[in-house]
């Protein structure tokens, strides 16, 4: 029978947070040894970033989220959501919302990467929350395991995002979007912050390594060629049935009409 409690490979089990911590430690170390003045410089650079972020926030976000990000009647408080949340929402173009529709859609980001970072730094400065990541920090190719990722994906993601990550319907017009073509860091940030309808997937119940495996599987699904011909959207039997009734039977009936007509 199925044994789900398969032993994990601990070979690559270095959580990314440790990696991040190590690298930042290394950075601080090298900065400290090179010139003590540099850390002061970094600190002041950070405060300028926050100031810049605050300015952007007041211009672009405060009308809904409040002057101090405390939230309003139409938008939630951003205190404590962390940089990860900002990076995800703004970086995928979901925020600022174009209109008050059912849910924020992925679209072309309005802010540049630097501006997004500034906004994230500002929101992170309000209260501690999950930190944002860069694509380089997420070593999914090295630390993930595709097959394991598939198991985790089917257990935790497929019920909303469909078996191939094509997205699916939720209640009252909400939907789980397709996750094809989403940057790895954004997938990761979505899992730890739980944007909109999506719940949070804690690092304790789905470990960092497991999250990387999920990303690796998603990327494999994204890159997977159409092994059996046109994919028909990878949404299951509905499009197959549609094709049979339109193209399949349509063509056959057309041929039958030709077959039964008199030649001239």
Sites for other proteins among residues 15-74 (CB under 8 A)? none
CB of 154 to other proteins, least distance (A): 5
- Check binding of 12 to other proteins (CB under 8 A): no
Tokens standing for 1? 């029978």
Tokens standing for 136? 């380089």
- Check binding of 202 to other proteins (CB under 8 A): yes
229-258 residues near other proteins, rule: CB under 8 A: 229-232, 234-241, 243-245, 247-249, 251-253, 255-258
* Closer residue to other proteins (CB): 96 or 236: 236
142-161 residues near other proteins, rule: CB under 8 A: 146-147, 150-152, 154-156, 158-161
State how far the Cα of 187 lies from the Cα of 22, in Å rounded to an integer. Answer: 23
State how far the Cα of 67 lies from the Cα of 1, in Å rounded to an integer. Answer: 57
- Check binding of 107 to other proteins (CB under 8 A): no
Closest C-alpha to 82, from 213, 194, 214, 209: 194
Other Cβ atoms less than 10 A from the Cβ of 52: the count is 17
Among 4, 11, 108, 181, binds other proteins (CB under 8 A): 4
Per the listing, tokens 């919302």 go with 97
The conformation of residue 137, written as its DSSP 8-state character, comes to: G
- Check binding of 210 to other proteins (CB under 8 A): yes
CB of 13 to other proteins, least distance (A): 12
* Closer residue to other proteins (CB): 7 or 37: 7
* Closer residue to other proteins (CB): 109 or 194: 194
Among 104, 176, 208, 215, binds other proteins (CB under 8 A): 176
| CA distances in angstroms from 176 to 105, 121, 160, 166, 203, listed in the order given | 10, 28, 6, 9, 21
Among 12, 51, 198, 222, binds other proteins (CB under 8 A): 198
CB of 214 to other proteins, least distance (A): 12
Among 37, 100, 172, 181, binds other proteins (CB under 8 A): 172
- Check binding of 127 to other proteins (CB under 8 A): no
87-106 residues near other proteins, rule: CB under 8 A: none
| CA distances in angstroms from 163 to 37, 151, 175, 220, 249, listed in the order given | 53, 11, 15, 13, 28
CB of 22 to other proteins, least distance (A): 24
Ramachandran sector of residue 224 (left: φ over 0; alpha: ψ -120 to 50; beta: rest): beta
* Closer residue to other proteins (CB): 185 or 219: 219
Other Cβ atoms less than 10 A from the Cβ of 243: the count is 14
Torsion of CA 32, 35, 39, 45, to 10 degrees: -140
* Closer residue to other proteins (CB): 120 or 192: 192
């Amino acid at each position: 029978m199925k044994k789900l409690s398969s032993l994990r490979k601990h070979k690559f089990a270095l959580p990314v947070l440790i990696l991040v911590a190590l690298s930042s430690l290394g950075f601080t170390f090298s900065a400290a040894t090179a010139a003590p003045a540099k850390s002061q410089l970094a600190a002041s650079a950070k405060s300028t970033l926050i100031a810049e972020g605050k300015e952007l926030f007041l211009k672009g976000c405060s009308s809904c989220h409040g002057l101090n990000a405390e939230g309003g009647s139409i938008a939630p408080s951003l205190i404590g959501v962390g940089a990860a949340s900002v990076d995800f929402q703004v970086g995928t173009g979901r925020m600022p919302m174009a209109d008050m529709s059912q849910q924020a859609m992925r679209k072309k980001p309005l802010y540049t990467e630097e501006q997004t970072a500034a906004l994230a730094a500002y929101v992170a400065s309000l209260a501690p929350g999950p930190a944002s990541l860069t694509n380089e920090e997420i070593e999914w190719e090295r630390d993930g395991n595709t097959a394991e990722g598939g198991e985790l994906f089917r257990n935790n993601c497929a019920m909303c995002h469909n078996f191939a990550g094509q997205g699916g319907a939720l209640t009252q017009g909400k939907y789980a979007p397709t996750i094809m073509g989403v940057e790895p860091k954004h997938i990761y940030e979505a899992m730890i912050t739980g944007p909109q309808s999506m719940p949070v997937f804690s690092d304790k119940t789905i470990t960092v390594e497991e999250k990387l495996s999920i990303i690796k599987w998603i990327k494999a699904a994204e890159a997977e060629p159409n092994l059996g011909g046109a994919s028909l959207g990878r949404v299951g039997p509905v499009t197959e049935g549609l094709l049979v009734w339109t193209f399949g039977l349509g063509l056959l009936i057309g041929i039958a009409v030709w077959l039964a007509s008199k030649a001239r």
